[in-house]
Chains A and B, each alone.
Chain A
């Protein structure tokens, strides 16, 4: 009995029971669709994060006070006193670490911003003029914080567009005085609209000079220093320079941590990779359930067609022929379900970004291949038992079966 013939017989049997075959396939369709959809969402997130992080400005180095190992592990709290990272540290880096184009000091926190009778909590960043360049965030109208503002601890403030619109509407805010946590600030500029990045509304932030910020948050330390180098190749040497400068200033102790953007990206990507695998795995379980559905229906089908099996055996079908017939039926169910599931999964994955902008998707060939082979394998695996049962039927018993 040749393959095409076996396939035809199996196909006719499936067609003669359309609703049942359709419902059985639905289990596999949903499983395959879920695998492809969830994996493409996970991968979409990865692509999105990579794009956003490189969009923040390239070759960034972030220096934070305190030593933490990127390899994890346990640090006893008595491992030496932590010297604060100061504004002077950032100035020293600017002067002496010549591979850095910028070394921007940063303090941040939240505070209450009020104008006339309106007010609300807001994210505040205290920084220097170079912040615009390293983070790719530029002022639109008016001016940004100047070095003079930083030096003289001026009470000046630059508003993000969202804040500006909420407090001033269409009116120009330049020169107006707002209250920020009980201190009065003069508005000098409004930022260019940027939108959300990594889930944060970049336009819902106000900027003040880093020195005023330290006063506002009542600290003489910095929260971090963002440094940048022009070339990716220089990152390692730049790290060495930063260490050299800061260790000398910090009584020969490395009590700070330098994170590179690449390392952060890697961490994010590995987290998302695990997430994608977990999502795919959960979806895989539903595919497994679909496979059990196939086995169930095949067992019913074998029982219903006991007589047919008996007739075929009496007419000369070998056990192999019967086995092949039922196996191919199971594989056809799962294979066709797999193909439909792939089409639906890919289709929906491509449609999602058109309607839900915060959910980027990325369909990869390997997830399609994996889903297809997995669904075919489900057919083989769950088809074997019923098909074997069918092939081992005793022809006499089968012929007598009512």
Chain B
């Protein structure tokens, strides 16, 4: 499903080029639950951004569902993000002015789904993450765990084959973190491919594959038996 081949990424900072990734190659099969670990500055977030089509590699090839992504235009990338990839962020990144329901509807707006249908599709997603009673609350009226559930519902509303989670439990207490993790593991069982970037060893242990990144290179890639 995902095939990274010899990906490098360099940023220009003033006069000097900074290499963030050098020669990263990686394959992820459909249905996997993968943790990407590494110290800060290791380049794991950059891997995540490239996987999520938010960023383009400087060189190398990225094939997503057998399509070369690194050559696509901004709008084509936007469309892939909209339909094929769901994002879950450490800081939830909900739109503060909108209710939970409206937040879940946002990806559908950009898919051109009419308003009535959007509601009909967003409501069951919130039910699935156990928030049917808090649909009309704004993010500020929800706990951290609840906000992250809304974010997961939003990530899934277009039924993308890939879910990317960047430190999804990083801002949560251990109990809500655990619940979120359970939710993600459950989704993976239903067939969603999930990639989680994390510092947390506990999170990594729940995944069946752990990729360690350091200094812009893959240090190890272990599949749990």
Partners in one complex: yes
Mark A residues whose CB is within 8 Å of B: 1-2, 5, 9, 12-13, 16, 307-308, 310-321, 395-396, 399
Query: In the assembled complex, how far is the CB of residue A313 from the closest CB belonging to chain B, in whole angstroms?
Result: 7
- A399 with B78: CB separation less than 8 A: no
Query: In the assembled complex, how far is the CB of residue A208 from the closest CB belonging to chain B, in whole angstroms?
Result: 82
25 A-B pairs (CB sep. < 8 Å): A1-B110, A1-B112, A5-B109, A5-B115, A16-B97, A308-B95, A312-B95, A312-B110, A313-B54, A314-B52, A314-B81, A315-B81, A315-B106, A315-B107, A316-B81, A316-B110, A316-B158, A318-B75, A319-B75, A319-B78, A320-B75, A395-B54, A396-B49, A399-B54, A399-B93
Query: In the assembled complex, how far is the CB of residue B22 from the closest CB belonging to chain A, in whole angstroms?
Result: 19
**Any A CB within 8 A of the CB of B149:** no
- A12 with B97: CB separation less than 8 A: yes
Q: Which parts of B97-111 form the interface with A (CB within 8 Å)?
A: 97, 106-107, 109-111
- A313 with B78: CB separation less than 8 A: yes
Q: Which parts of B70-124 form the interface with A (CB within 8 Å)?
A: 74-75, 78-79, 81-83, 87, 89, 93-95, 97, 106-107, 109-112, 114-115
Query: In the assembled complex, how far is the CB of residue A222 from the closest CB belonging to chain B, in whole angstroms?
Result: 81
**Any A CB within 8 A of the CB of B154:** yes
Q: A308 to chain B: which residues have CB within 8 Å?
A: 95
Given contacts A2-B112, A318-B75, A399-B93, 5 further A-B contacts (CB under 8 A): A1-B112, A311-B94, A311-B106, A315-B106, A320-B75
Query: In the assembled complex, how far is the CB of residue B148 from the closest CB belonging to chain A, in whole angstroms?
Result: 14
Q: A315 to chain B: which residues have CB within 8 Å?
A: 81-82, 87, 106-107, 110, 154
Q: What residue in chain B is nearest A15 (Cβ atoms)?
A: B97
- B49 with A316: CB separation less than 8 A: no
Query: In the assembled complex, how far is the CB of residue B82 from the closest CB belonging to chain A, in whole angstroms?
Result: 2
From A1, A307, A311, A319, contact of B109 by CB (8 A):
A1
Would you call the interface of chain A mostly helix, strand, loop, or mixed?
helix
Mark B residues whose CB is within 8 Å of A: 49, 52, 54-55, 74-75, 78-79, 81-83, 87, 89, 93-95, 97, 106-107, 109-112, 114-115, 154, 158
- B97 with A316: CB separation less than 8 A: no
- Please provide the 3 A-B residue pairs with the shortest distance between their CB atoms, ordered closest to farther: A316-B82, A316-B110, A318-B78
Q: B95 to chain A: which residues have CB within 8 Å?
A: 308, 311-312
Q: How far is the CA of A317 from the CA of B87 in the complex (A)?
A: 14
Query: In the assembled complex, how far is the CB of residue A141 from the closest CB belonging to chain B, in whole angstroms?
Result: 79
Q: A321 to chain B: which residues have CB within 8 Å?
A: 110
Q: A320 to chain B: which residues have CB within 8 Å?
A: 75
Query: In the assembled complex, how far is the CB of residue A17 from the closest CB belonging to chain B, in whole angstroms?
Result: 10
- A312 with B106: CB separation less than 8 A: yes
Q: A310 to chain B: which residues have CB within 8 Å?
A: 93
